[in-house]
Structure 1
């Protein structure tokens, strides 16, 4: 299967200078595209591993990577299996599919061990979005010795208001996956996800929205469509694990969860309920923002960056 080994450079979204790209292979022999950068400002404050959401790709985060580097952070990021420039195992490359979220945990552990800890300076922090936030939480018991702190934006802890209720969707997805429809698109799902800006649930910032569209027009091999039924069933199992009575109290990775007040993709209320079950997790909601906080209007994005800065600085003070 084809793996994109380089970063796509677009006039409206140029590759940040100093990128080091590498392909790493997971224990189950899936090749992942990774990229890393050193900071552009002093003093060096450590490394942020930037963990994407579903259907995303490294190029989408160039602005955020520049922001982090300007704050004195080195940055590592990567594409999950089955999306972006990483290896896709299905014949139909547009289907976002995994059998179980343990596969994503394997991706994360491979990158953290083989890139973040192997090549980049500490202390180490994680910044994870949506599906990436769920994966990081699943791996939190092992990541506690690798990351000082984690910040999650709009984590997939519960499904939002788009479509049918989670109480209906999850049992149905599990049933359909078990009877042989695991690799089929979710009902109504298509190979290409198209949102008109005027009704999109992701961001209120038209410039950033159009920038993402332009990148995919120039490099459509980075794109995937709707998730498969098996992916959705796996996500439901993973979300359910977070609410096991033993999970929250066992969390020891200091984490800030930042949710968007107008998020229709994931449930801020589910995230808030999860936080109440833990001792080391904090919750912040940014009123008026949509799902993609790092692609949002500066009014909301700046609030998030201020919260990130404060949370990381607090950790640095406590460990000093």
Structure 2
């Protein structure tokens, strides 16, 4: 297994790239960058979103390395350079969402426990953020801090999620779990035209990611399957339960996109308001992919992340000048140092 850089998307030097195997036999592509600093600030593990891949985070990885972290990135099963569970490698498929927990277990046991300095922090986007928050509430997330970017708490364009969940379950019971969702196809969202995209307002970063997706070929998957949708709705339903956020004991920073048309920002706000050990901000004007936005949006996002992660000057949001609080007095982030 290897990484696939492009001219516009160079690979950060020093990567150790390989394959690990989850306990059910699923091979996962993993990349680890040792810290460049003599005294590392810890390790950041990237939990990518649906249909993403390691290469999409090269810019962010380089910035984290410059800040003194060891960085680990991996592809979820069913996407990027990891194993597919269907014959068509372009289908965004997982039989059930619980399998993603096995990917995290494998990363924790075979990478983090062996080669990565503590404390460990998770930087998670969209689907990856939802998975991280769900694992955290159950005490199964191998991290001392969480940064959740546009977490998939609810979908913005689905007005009747219970009905959609029921429909996906019905199709699944009919044996159609491996079929694309209605209207879905093999084209990667990253390679669709910039005009009208819901991901970012940055034309250059969008083009860079499109080139990276094209270079990765079948690694850049298309739309999700019925089984994926069924699992996603079940996960979102669990996270919308009032007690879900209350059960998270790990210090958490939630960053929501003010102009998100994929994930429901109001749902993210409601979730974050219930956190006991977290802060949240809404970034005005930002679309779904906060780390791929224009510099005027991305810079304060990175400043907030940098301050919150272990070793930051202050685990607060004072540097995020472009953001506004979710609430006038959001819950304070725990001030104690992360424990091993």
TM-score (ref. length: structure 2): 0.88
**Alignment correspondent of 1:31:** 27
**Alignment correspondent of 2:14:** 18
**Alignment correspondent of 2:270:** 273
Number of residue equivalences = 314
- Conserved? CA contact 1:143–1:253, under 8 Å: no
- Conserved? CA contact 2:91–2:180, under 8 Å: yes
Secondary structure in structure 1 of the residue aligned to 2:195: helix
**Alignment correspondent of 1:287:** 284
**Alignment correspondent of 1:228:** 225
**Alignment correspondent of 1:178:** 173
Give the structure with the higher percent helix: 1
Matched ranges for 1:199-218 at <5 A: 199-218=196-215
Query: Aligned to 2:56, which of 49, 55, 60?
Result: 60
Secondary structure in structure 2 of the residue aligned to 1:39: coil
Tell me how far apart the structure 1 counterparts of residues 177 and 279 of structure 2 sit (CA, whole Å).
35
Secondary structure in structure 1 of the residue aligned to 2:18: strand
- Conserved? CA contact 2:151–2:256, under 8 Å: yes
**Alignment correspondent of 2:327:** none
Structure 1 residue 250, shift from structure 2 partner: 1.8
Secondary structure in structure 2 of the residue aligned to 1:151: strand
**Alignment correspondent of 1:251:** 248
**Alignment correspondent of 2:130:** 134
Mind listing any 5+ residue stretches in structure 2 that lack a counterpart?
A: 316-333
- Conserved? CA contact 1:13–1:211, under 8 Å: yes
Query: Aligned to 1:238, which of 214, 235, 250?
Result: 235
**Alignment correspondent of 2:44:** 48
Mind listing any 5+ residue stretches in structure 1 that lack a counterpart?
A: none
Tell me how far apart the structure 1 counterparts of residues 244 and 156 of structure 2 sit (CA, whole Å).
22
Structure 1 residue 174, shift from structure 2 partner: 1.9
- Conserved? CA contact 1:39–1:71, under 8 Å: no
**Alignment correspondent of 2:195:** 198
- Conserved? CA contact 2:214–2:220, under 8 Å: no
Secondary structure in structure 2 of the residue aligned to 1:306: helix
Structure 1 residue 271, shift from structure 2 partner: 1.2
Structure 1 residue 43, shift from structure 2 partner: 4.2
**Alignment correspondent of 2:329:** none
Structure 1 residue 106, shift from structure 2 partner: 1.2
RMSD: 1.7
Structure 1 residue 240, shift from structure 2 partner: 1.0
Deviations 1:7-53 (A, max 9, x none): 11211111111000121100111000000102334542111001100
Tell me how far apart the structure 2 counterparts of residues 213 and 42 of structure 1 sit (CA, whole Å).
36
TM-score (ref. length: structure 1): 0.93
**Alignment correspondent of 1:121:** 117
**Alignment correspondent of 1:304:** 301
- Conserved? CA contact 2:85–2:94, under 8 Å: no
Query: Aligned to 2:144, which of 145, 148, 156?
Result: 148
Structure 1 residue 207, shift from structure 2 partner: 0.8
